[in-house]
Chain A
Amino acid sequence: MRRFWILLFTEFKAWCRDPITTFGGFIPPTVLLVAFGLLFSGELAFPIAVVNHDSGSSGAVLVETFDEVLSPFNQPYYRVLDLTEPKAWEAFRTQRIDAVWVIPSDFSDRLAAGQHPNIEMHFSNYIDDRAKNHRLYAAEILWRFYEKVGQPAPPLEMAEEYPFPEMVDWFSVIGVGLVLLGVTLGGMFNVFALTYKEQVARITLEFGLSPRSLWGILLPKMVLALVMGLLTGTAIMGILYLWAGIWPGRFLWAVYLLSSLVALFWISIALVFGLQARHYMAAAIVAILTGVIVFFVGGGFSPVRYYSKEVLWFARLFPNTYAIDPLRDLILFHVWPNNWLQTLLIVTGFAVLGVGAGLAVSERRLRRLD
């Protein structure tokens, strides 16, 4: 055991000399986190202006409606800015607001007389998804407006049923995937960094000449990489907590356990490649590409349970696929996953297989002494 601690400390000292190298495992998930955060979180409400020329009262009722209709994000769909007409058009022209709604002077009269009342909606459509939102949000506003002005009841009512009492946003769903990516990539990059230094300094030759089993030499490296991977994942979780308020709380240890088992599988593969690759960059690039592909395929972007069969068979080749939905249950909903024991067994199987194969192949590689 003393030998293990000495080696672990030596590896740590080597790590301390060039810690920036390991940032390679932190940057990709952080970039994806910020990118997806900007895309899928933040203020949902579209800033718009309403130019109300209506001589009656219905136009004002319509304007009031904007604040009353809330989306599942618990925010109004539109944030109506208090702008004069010239300023509204100027703001629209300079893309500072997304739309201008114009209510004509005869709006109330036409509505009361049933003479096809209409409004104008000027909106930006340089991104089709935003244009789509304008059209669909407008339907939500009109639905509520009809109810407020006492139109006859709709021919079809609507109702919703949910499986859980609380709602999370998509960014959080992706965020959990990125935490797992962070742990995985963090671990892989640290292994690469440590093996690269040993290759450059030809310490691998000394390893190969060692009379004792090399598993004891390689294990501290894997442990250090795992710890650094968990630190990377924790940092991503920290950002996620600050951004979206998500934290596993009392389930943190279970999150660490599950992520560690997944990471051990990938660290073992990285160890083998790290000892083969003569070029750190090549190994790092392969690691990033593999990590990102597995992130997308292994349920990082949306729950695995909704995958089509064509994708699922491939996804099941990676431990991430089994761990990601239980991790979401733990981090987002703070509940034990229904299949916790089964997941743990499967992921442990992957880890044991990965570590065993990784150490065996690595030892063979080092014993070749070339």
Chain B
Amino acid sequence: MTRFYLFLLNEFKLARTAIPIHMVAILQPSILFLFLSFILVHPTFKVNVSQPLMDEGHVLVEAMEQVGSPIGADYIDPIIVDSKELGDLRQIITVKERDGVPTAVQQYGLIDSNQVKNLRNRLTAAALHLWNAELKGRALSIKEHTWLPYDAPYTVYFGMALLPMAAFVAAAIIGGVLTAQDFELKTTLEYRLSPVSPVLILGARLVRLVLSSLLSACMLLVVAGLVTGFWPGNIWRLGGVLLTIAIMASCMGIILGLLFRSTIPAYISGLSLALAGWIFGGGFALASGFGGVYERISRLTPNAHAVELCFPAFYRVEIGNPLRSALVLIVFSVISLSLLFFTYRWRVTKQAY
């Protein structure tokens, strides 16, 4: 056991040989989250309205203020501007008479269909308020039955789906680079000549990588919690899920290092693997919602299963098939461990110099 602790201590000391890698691997997901949380779509839009000269214009602005979620954010933040022309504005609504009919004319800047859709939808919703008010009993009302009792901000899902990626990227990159360094610095020769069992050497590295991986995920969890105000309910379940991802990623990282035997390709391939798993593993919305080829691909990644298992911890709602997802993660972990020992034997124990 003492020997194992010494190996483990050495593994942690190795961090000094790759400080930038450790910083990137551990901090990158949190930085990515912070960056994207500022630019991710938000339901409230600033909408420029030219200073109304007609009553209909004033009523429209009042209706705009009512457009929103009954259990969430407002959708329109009307900004009254003095200008009647678009000028440098992104968009402007002017209420004026056209052929004797009061009309809200919306002028757009660059023709971006997503912006046009968002702005058009909001104007329609506000104008429908006015129409409904005039129709009275003939107006059609919609009774909303939402899945959750509140509209959850997108950043909550985004942060949650980033957790498996955070756990994966840290272990995969650090594992890949440290293992490749073993070849570059000829440490593998010492390993090969040593009478110590590979289980001890790999075990120490795996434990150290798993801890680094969980540290990265914890940092993201704290950053996301502070930004969104949403904290997971069942921390043990979350920890269990991330642990399997950390084991898988640690194995993958070491395998990449063993295969490439050079730090830069090991780093790049580890990063690519982590990013691919995130993008195709339901990083932006539940994989089941996409359906088709995307969903089939996502089922091959551990991320999609991890996201489905993490979901109840944040939303208090069970989704998918938790038992199947848990089983898949365990099987993936066992396969990764087996592959790791096989590759280690092939590249280190049996390889001649």
Contacts and interface: CB of A to CB of B under 8 A. Distances in A.
B117 A73 contact: yes
A136 B125 contact: yes
5 contacts: A120-B142, A125-B150, A129-B42, A129-B43, A138-B142
B288 A94 contact: yes
B135 interface: yes
A170 B146 CA distance: 28
Contacts of B267: 281
A157 interface: yes
Interface string B80-119: 0000001011100001001001111111111111111100
Nearest to A122: B145
B69 interface: yes
A99 to B, nearest CB: 9
B253 to A, nearest CB: 15
B268 A20 contact: yes
A360 interface: no
Interface in A77-117: 94-96, 98, 111, 114-117
Interface residues of B, number: 96
Given A127-B157, A128-B151, A136-B124, A157 B140 contact: no
A18 B264 contact: yes
Contacts of B71: 125
A157 B22 CA distance: 59
Max count, chain A CB within 10 A of own CB: residue among B105, B131, B275: B131
A164 B111 contact: yes
B103 A125 contact: no
Contacts of A253: none
Interface in A236-292: 279-282, 285, 289, 292
Contact of A156 (B67, B72, B104, B150): B104
Contacts of A155: 56, 102, 130-131, 134
B111 A166 contact: yes
Max count, chain B CB within 10 A of own CB: residue among A71, A133, A155: A155
A137 interface: yes
Contacts of A20: 264-265, 268
Contact of A121 (B111, B142, B264): B142
A276 B113 CA distance: 46
Interface of B: 18, 20-21, 23-24, 31, 35, 39, 41-43, 56, 59-60, 67, 69, 71-73, 75, 86, 88-90, 95, 98, 101-117, 120-125, 127-128, 130-131, 134-148, 150-154, 157, 177, 262-265, 267-268, 271-272, 275, 279, 283-286, 288-289, 291, 315, 317, 319-320
Contacts of B284: 35, 38-39
B242 to A, nearest CB: 20
Contact of A128 (B31, B69, B120): B69
A21 interface: yes
Given A139-B128, A161-B108, 4 more contacts: A38-B283, A123-B146, A156-B102, A279-B20
B75 to A, nearest CB: 6
Interface stretch (A7-15, A140-148, A179-187): A140-148
A208 interface: no
A94 to B, nearest CB: 6
Contact of B279 (A23, A34, A72, A138): A34
Contacts of B135: 146, 151-152
B112 A27 contact: no
Given A96-B291, A126-B152, A156-B104, A111 B138 contact: yes
B121 A136 contact: yes
Interface stretch (A220-228, A301-309, A340-348): A301-309
Contacts of B139: 116
Given A155-B56, A170-B114, A123 B147 contact: yes
B102 A95 contact: no
State the 8 A-B residue pairs at the shortest beta-carbon distance, nearest first.
Answer: A170-B114, A136-B121, A114-B137, A128-B151, A139-B125, A132-B43, A72-B113, A282-B20
B271 A143 contact: no
A196 B131 CA distance: 68
Nearest to A124: B147
A119 interface: yes
A167 interface: yes
A370 interface: no
A291 to B, nearest CB: 12
A314 interface: no
A306 B289 CA distance: 33
A103 to B, nearest CB: 10
Contact of A306 (B90, B111, B285): B90
B269 to A, nearest CB: 8
A243 B64 CA distance: 36
A155 B103 CA distance: 9
A55 interface: no
Max count, chain B CB within 10 A of own CB: residue among A111, A154, A173: A154
A236 to B, nearest CB: 15
A131 B113 contact: no
Contact of B141 (A116, A151, A164): A116
B145 A161 contact: no
Contact of A27 (B121, B264, B268, B289): B268
Interface string A290-304: 001000100001010
Nearest to B118: A136
B96 to A, nearest CB: 10
A162 interface: yes
A159 interface: yes
Contacts of A201: none
A364 B18 CA distance: 29
Given A27-B275, A96-B289, A73 B148 contact: no
